[in-house]
């Protein structure tokens, strides 16, 4: 099951638009050096989360990954809200 949730969140006095993307799969294995999960797939390059993190950070945001073995994964994307 895939779930997408959007909301606003204030952190350290700054307002962020947040997007949570969750699944009920097997979870992710963590890689030690980079801090991003290691790919266990035979196809692909395992660059999806790396590229996502770079895009989010280049826009002043950050991402969080919450994953437990066999209980699914949630990726939280936080984008700063720009005031006019």
- Whether 34 has a pLDDT exceeding 80, the answer reads no
pTM of the model: 0.76
| Mean of per-residue pLDDT scores for the chain | 84
What are the Cα distances from residue 82, in Å, to 4, 55, 61, 71, 78? 23, 17, 11, 35, 13
Average pLDDT over every residue of 68-81 = 90
- Whether 23 has a pLDDT exceeding 80, the answer reads yes
- Whether 4 has a pLDDT exceeding 70, the answer reads yes
- Whether 37 has a pLDDT exceeding 60, the answer reads no
- Whether 27 has a pLDDT exceeding 60, the answer reads yes
């Amino acid at each position: 099951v895939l779930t997408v949730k959007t909301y606003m969140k204030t952190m350290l006095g700054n307002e962020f638009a947040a997007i949570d993307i969750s699944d009920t799969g097997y979870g992710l294995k963590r890689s030690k050096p980079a801090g991003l999960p290691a790919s266990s797939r035979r196809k692909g390059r395992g660059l999806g989360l790396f590229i996502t993190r770079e895009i989010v950070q280049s826009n002043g945001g950050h991402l969080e990954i919450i994953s437990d073995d066999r209980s699914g994964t949630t990726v939280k994307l936080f984008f700063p809200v720009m005031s006019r």
